[in-house]
Amino acid sequence: MTPPKGLEGRPSKSLTLHQAQALIRAAEGSRLHAYIVLCLMTGCRTEEARALRWDHVNLDGDPDSKPPVPPHVAVWRSVRTHGDVKTQKSRRTLRLPEAVVDALKAHRLKQAEDRLLAGALWHDQGLVFASAVGTPLDPSHVRRSFRKVCEDAGIGPNWTPRELRHTFVSIMSEQGVPVEEIARLVGHSTSATTETVYRRELRPVISVGAEVMDKVFRGG
């Protein structure tokens, strides 16, 4: 299958690990904190995060089952017109890192406060990420709020939420995760799509092997 061509426009880039850490710290007082942490640490698309429902999130897992089930998120929906994810293989269930679990638990408490304050104005759609009255988030508002967090983090305003996903791919690659596994995590139908879309973020695995062997044998 031929990988889809990306849309023309400003090329996406990825945060360094230092920038990503600064962004998470700056986001702690923001309504976008859990949104940023989820997208950065799981590789969710922004349209998948905005459509995420609480009934697709399990923050406690099931430690008593055999084998134990960890906290996880079912990425099965998006804000696309038909409501489904981008491709069949985009539908995936991901284990949640502890930092994401903590952020989502705090976010759920804050949303309960929003619900009480909104009263009869609350629109219960079951969304994880919603406005102060429960309605879906406006993407332009998310982008503006995200730029503000980036400025607070000292990394400049020229970043977009989609680059959290690029950062996830970059960090996974830097840690030596094979491209085939990265493709599964981000919901690509093939690793060729991952290599095409994220070619700047992926480390050249073949050359890495040569570098390691050179180091071992030259060192010996």
Inter-CA distances, 42 with 5, 47, 94, Å:
23, 14, 7
Contact between 4 and 195 (Cβ < 8 Å): no
- Would you name the residues annotated as active-site residues? 45, 86, 165, 188, 198
Inter-CA distances, 163 with 31, 115, 126, 146, Å:
19, 31, 26, 11
* Nearest by Cα to 108 from 34, 45, 38, 51: 34
Q: Rounded to whole angstroms, how far apart are CA atoms 166 and 190?
A: 17
Q: Rounded to whole angstroms, how far apart are CA atoms 87 and 43?
A: 15
Buried b (16+ CB within 10 A) or exposed e, 47-70: bbbbbbeeebbbeeeeeeeeeeeb
- Burial class from Cβ neighbours inside 10 Å (0-12, 13-18, 19+) for residue 104 reads buried
Q: How far is CA 207 from the centre of its chain?
A: 28
